Amino acid sequence: MLWLSIDYHSEEPVYRQIVTIIQEAIMSGKLKANEPLPSIREMARSQRINPNTVARAYRELENLGLIYSRPGVGSFIRAKSSDEIEEQVISLLSTNLEEIVASAKRCGVPEEDLKDILLSVVGKVYGGDKNASN
Amino acid sequence: MLWLSIDYHSEEPVYRQIVTIIQEAIMSGKLKANEPLPSIREMARSQRINPNTVARAYRELENLGLIYSRPGVGSFIRAKSSDEIEEQVISLLSTNLEEIVASAKRCGVPEEDLKDILLSVVGKVYGGDKNASN
Amino acid sequence: MLWLSIDYHSEEPVYRQIVTIIQEAIMSGKLKANEPLPSIREMARSQRINPNTVARAYRELENLGLIYSRPGVGSFIRAKSSDEIEEQVISLLSTNLEEIVASAKRCGVPEEDLKDILLSVVGKVYGGDKNASN
Amino acid sequence: MLWLSIDYHSEEPVYRQIVTIIQEAIMSGKLKANEPLPSIREMARSQRINPNTVARAYRELENLGLIYSRPGVGSFIRAKSSDEIEEQVISLLSTNLEEIVASAKRCGVPEEDLKDILLSVVGKVYGGDKNASN
DNA sequence: GTGGTCTAGACCACG
DNA sequence: GTGGTCTAGACCACC
């Protein structure tokens, strides 16, 4: 019931870490449609995070269309078809990748070299273990 | 002769944008060893940026070992072998990529699907024109 | 609780003096892992230094890998093993010493004479009191 | 007749490099009493250094009591007894060393460890070749 | 002219 | 409250 492992040494803001963790949990299917999220207060208390920070993360997730909040009731995972989710994952990945690839191009890295680097990184990250979703 | 296109609305700090642009120019070979950079004041004047901001960017580049500055003389590209540069580019790319790939893995994207996405993004970015290295 | 004695007439920049003082405090174990540093504004207020100058010193310490800063929270001593610290101290000392020894050699000082001078200086500096490590 | 090898990549100011080179040449006996130095113009032309910079170096050497200038005639090495020179070398070395040793002490390095480091650096620098004066 | 330091003060994002 | 960025302007050492 309680997850969220925040790295307080990271330079990524705490609220961004929360957003990312929940986002990835939804994408991977760990959180399912209409499942309730812990209330802001509960999350803040159990994870020892400032309630304002949790609130900001929830707001961000709502803006991303990933959750919906019913005042006085709680926050819930928004229902999505698996196609919609897959599309979102691909779109998110592509956006992040384009920046890096464009930078590589500006650095003069030849297309074939870049592909080699990409595939080697994938092999390295996925090679560690076979659990693709954890 | 005059480059640097700064996006003042970006959330990336101006000094970081300058660092990245010059870094990529060095990596790609557009700026060569011991070539002088525009003086801090000149760059500041021509780009309408505060001299302190330019100075901070130059200082950062010096910390990265990419340029050196001498009071009373100017700032210059530090001499590096092409092997060293290539190594730096690959290391930089790999670091940035690992984060994204790891996130894709946590989202439950299968290895083969991810490879397809990667290659398609590369094709898209490099497809625009055929000058990959300049 | 309050340290830092800055010499405003020294030719060593103020921000460098701050870096050195904190660096030595970490090396000697006076500042321990994850201990909070005074906030930039507090340090600036208590030492009558401009906050920008303190910030620059902290940034430098972060680049050296000695502290980490998080917006909204504060700045903290980075955790290091005592082996790592010892190694850093020795490396720092050796680098500084090599310059002087090389100069002595160029001045024609015989090896044995130099050793005598070195040991006499050590005796003089350490002789003042017997608390070498605190 | 012409020496001076200036490192334009060094962060040590050019005028300081000139001072140090001449100073060490005097200390080691390579330059003898009343020997003439090249004129400022000649030095500047042959070494491709700004005359103002050479002039500043000579002025510094004069302030150090190492040379004397006769307007319209030239600059010369000041006569010193070998005892005086030896004393100066030791005093110069000691001053530079004290700073480093004091810093080591503040870092908590035990006296015996420091001595070991010192002797190992001396061995390393002097071990390379047996010409102590070149 | 060059780069480097320092101050002052404003504004932003984060918790 | 915290750190981070940016501007403005002064002063220094170096060439």
Q: Decide if pLDDT at D128 tops 90.
A: no
In this predicted structure, what is the pLDDT of residue D132? 46
With an 8 Å Cβ cutoff, are B109 and A98 in contact?
no
The partner residue sitting opposite D126, judged by closest CB among C89, C105, C126, is C105
Q: Is the pLDDT of residue D71 over 90?
A: no
Residues 6 or more apart from C9 whose CB is under 8 A from it? Answer: none
Helix axis angle for C82-106 and D14-27, nearest 10°, is 60
10-residue mean pLDDT series, chain A (134 residues) = 75 94 92 91 90 95 93 91 88 94 96 95 83 47
Mean pLDDT of the residues in chain B? 92
Residue C132 is predicted with a pLDDT of 45
Chain D residues with CB under 8 Å of a chain B CB are 8-9, 11, 13
The whole-number average pLDDT for the span B76-89 is: 92
Distance of CA D47 to the CA centre of its chain: 18
The HSE-up count of residue B84 (CA atoms within 13 Å, CB side) is: 9
Question: pTM for the complete prediction?
Answer: 0.90
Segment C49-78, tens digit of pLDDT: 999 999 999 999 999 999 999 999 999 999
pLDDT beyond 90 at B19: yes
Question: Please, what's the b/e burial string for A95-107 (b: 16 or more CB within 10 A of its CB; e: otherwise)?
Answer: ebbeebbebbbbb
The residue whose CA lies nearest the C1' of nucleotide F14 is B72
On the question of pLDDT at C134 being above 50, the answer is no
* Mean local confidence (pLDDT), B28-34: 93
Q: What is the pLDDT of residues D35-68, one digit of tens each?
A: 999 999 999 998 889 999 999 999 999 999 999 9
Angle, helices C82-106/C14-27, rounded to nearest 10 degrees: 120
Q: In this structure, which long-range contacts are made by residues B59-64, counting pairs with CB atoms below 8 Å and at least 24 apart in sequence?
A: B60/B15, B60/B16, B60/B19, B61/B19, B61/B22, B61/B23, B63/C63, B64/B19, B64/B23
* Chain-chain contact of D8 with B70 (C-beta, under 8 angstroms): yes
Per-residue pLDDT, C127: 85
Residue type for position A15: Y
Task: Give the residue nearest to nucleotide F6 (CA to C1').
Answer: B53
For residue B91, how many other CB atoms are within 10 A of its CB? 10
Residues of A in contact with C68 (CB under 8 A): 9, 11
Cβ(A56)–Cβ(A44) under 8 Å? no
Q: Mean pLDDT throughout D105-129?
A: 92
Q: D134 or A23: whose pLDDT is higher?
A: A23
Name, in order, each residue with C-beta under 8 angstroms of B65's C-beta and a sequence gap of 6 or more. Answer: B78
Question: pLDDT band for position C15 (50/70/90)?
Answer: very high
Element (H, E) at D25: helix D14-27
Footprint of strand F on the protein (CB under 7 A): B 13-16, 49-53, 56, 70-73; C 37, 39-42, 52, 55, 58-59, 62, 69-75; D 13-16, 50, 52-53, 56
Cα torsion D7, D8, D9, D13: sign: positive
The token duo for D103 is 């810093």
The confidence score (pLDDT) of residue B128 equals 64
Quote the strand ranges of chain D, DSSP E.
Answer: 67-70, 74-77
Position of tokens 């760990």?
Answer: A30
> Per-residue pLDDT averaged across C29-41, rounded?
95
- What's the pLDDT score for residue D7? 86
Half-sphere exposure of B100 (CA within 13 A, CB side): 26
